[in-house]
Amino acid sequence: MFYLMLAGIAFIGLAIALFQMRTHPKGLYVLFFVEMWERFSYYGMRALLVLYLTKHFLFDRTDAYGLYGAYITLVYITPVIGGFIADKYLGARKAVLFGGILLVLGHLGMAFEGEQVAVGQVADPDVLNVFYFSLALIIAGVGFLKANISTIVGMLYEKTDIRRDSAFTLFYVGINLGSTFGVLLAGGLGETYGWKYGFGAAGVGMLLGLVMFVIFKPVLQGKGEPKDLAYLKEKIFLGLDREWLTYIATGFAVLLFWQLVRSQGTVNLLLVGFGALVVGYILYTSVLKLEAQERNRIFVALFLISVNVLFWGLFEQTGSSLTLYTEDSVDRVIFGQEIKTSIFQSINAIYIVLLGAPLAGMWAWLGRRGLEPSTPMKFALAVFQLGLGFLVLVWGAGNGQNLTPVIFIFLIYLLHTTGELCMSPVGLSAMTRLAPTKMVGLMMGTWFLASAAGNSVSAIIAQATAVVGPNGESMVLDVYSKVGWYAIGISVLMALAAPIIKKGMHLDTLENDVEEGTPAE
């Protein structure tokens, strides 16, 4: 019943989003559905991963969390490389196509599960190797697809087109529809009928996305093609051109990820080192190679990227400390029935599916009247709502003697989701607008790298909530209260600085890309 209700809400959200999209280029429909299937496979598989590790391969929890952490970090590190390669020569469309193929192979590879490991036995190393290899294919696949598909969304619009934030908000609804259906369908199949069915469903979903992307290529009207085909096809090594060398090199990278994903410590080091390298490279390029206004826009983009780290660092308590709080301290009885804690994790995606399209409509409505808040102001609003969400929960918990009424969990998720909608899709949109065409994939990849960093920060905050007070009492509400007030303080500073930051975006001199041609209507 509950599942049917969720699916029903998701379909309503889909209908509203499709209706809103009628005023947008046709290409948005294609990218919406392709990304929906990609996220279907990603979140469907992710929902099963830790369960699969602990129940099928009998990993202990620490090892399972370690592998999970390494995997989700690597998945958000690789889009920088995919974005960079697309900028330099491959083009975003070919990158998405190649990423999609790797993802289909990876998800289908996950469906090879071997025998259930018996208690006291260890998993068959060959089966484990296939499993790690499948994860490595997914890591490389997301690297090619995730940033570049968002870049193509941006290419459908002129830089000065006021529909851009709305477009990304609708695209974001597609992401969350995929996540809702992925968890319900692939996750549900895997847990109920057997892991391979869940993973297989994820693979089939991605295959559908890939087929759509191929069939509907003409609708993209040449957006995201390589900027210099002759350069791409130039044979430079052993009779192989740059395109094929990229595909072959990716094979070697997959072998590297195959090993790396087993070592959380190395991946964390890689995140820090690689992050510093990427930011250093962006600064170096913008200071030495860009003219003043382009450089300022990149600085604004870097500022937004740093807010992304902060935002996900706080927001991602959802899967960790907030889940345990919901389990231990919330009265989860609704209409006489106790709701399982894990179900609350789907609330965020459902809110986005329902609220995304109305918000996209609101941005468009305000935009037409010249009243739309600037990007830095939307970011300030996002951090404010994030902080307020925590404070509302702390307030609702009272003195912590009684169970917290469940309405406050719905409220914190609501505020965090409206915050997310003010930041995450708006940030994607900003990357495509602020970066010069030759750097847009790189900046988009860096945006996701910041998400990886945010996730690591969130683990540190979650650990802080686990510390007990002098009398053995839980400190989680104290941490939430601090975090809430800090976030509100920071958001006020951000709001004050917003007009200055907006100036750095030089919106008045933003030029449409000549090589992109006319807007695709």
Binding site for ligand GLU (CB under 6 A): 39, 175, 312, 424, 448, 451
Alpha helix (H) ranges present in 290-346?
A: 292-315, 321-329
**Shortest approach of ligand GLU to residue 444 CB, angstroms?**
10
**Shortest approach of ligand GLU to residue 175 CB, angstroms?**
5
Cα–Cα distance, 328 to 260 (Å, whole number) = 35
> Which amino acid appears at position 38 of this protein?
E
Helix (H) or strand (E) holding 77: helix 61-85
Residue closer to ligand GLU, measured from CB, 309 or 391: 309
**Shortest approach of ligand GLU to residue 451 CB, angstroms?**
3
Residues contacting residue 239 through CB under 8 Å, at least 6 positions apart: none
Helix (H) or strand (E) holding 2: helix 2-20
Q: Give residue number: closest CB to ligand GLU.
A: 451
Cα–Cα distance, 411 to 404 (Å, whole number) = 12
> Which amino acid appears at position 235 of this protein?
K
Residues contacting residue 63 through CB under 8 Å, at least 6 positions apart: 53
**Shortest approach of ligand GLU to residue 426 CB, angstroms?**
12
Cα–Cα distance, 164 to 141 (Å, whole number) = 26
Query: What tokens appear for 347 in the block?
Result: 């609330």
**Shortest approach of ligand GLU to residue 448 CB, angstroms?**
6
**Shortest approach of ligand GLU to residue 92 CB, angstroms?**
16
Residue closer to ligand GLU, measured from CB, 177 or 394: 177
Residue from 332, 253, 236, 307 nearest 457 by CA:
307
Cα–Cα distance, 177 to 284 (Å, whole number) = 39
From first CA to last CA, the distance across the chain in angstroms is 41
Residue closer to ligand GLU, measured from CB, 286 or 446: 446
Residue closer to ligand GLU, measured from CB, 321 or 424: 424
Residue closer to ligand GLU, measured from CB, 58 or 414: 414
Residue closer to ligand GLU, measured from CB, 390 or 448: 448
Residue closer to ligand GLU, measured from CB, 68 or 244: 68
Q: Which residues pair with 367 in a beta bridge?
A: none
The Cα-based distances of 307 to 137, 161, 311, 392 in angstroms read: 30, 24, 6, 22
> Which amino acid appears at position 231 of this protein?
Y
What's 399's DSSP letter?
A: T
**Shortest approach of ligand GLU to residue 315 CB, angstroms?**
9
Please, are residues 67 and 259 in contact by the beta-carbon 8 Å criterion? Answer: no
**Shortest approach of ligand GLU to residue 142 CB, angstroms?**
10
Residues contacting residue 464 through CB under 8 Å, at least 6 positions apart: 475, 479
Residue closer to ligand GLU, measured from CB, 96 or 175: 175
**Shortest approach of ligand GLU to residue 75 CB, angstroms?**
10
**Shortest approach of ligand GLU to residue 42 CB, angstroms?**
7
Residue closer to ligand GLU, measured from CB, 33 or 448: 448
Residue closer to ligand GLU, measured from CB, 71 or 448: 448
Please, are residues 47 and 346 in contact by the beta-carbon 8 Å criterion? Answer: no
What's 217's DSSP letter?
A: G
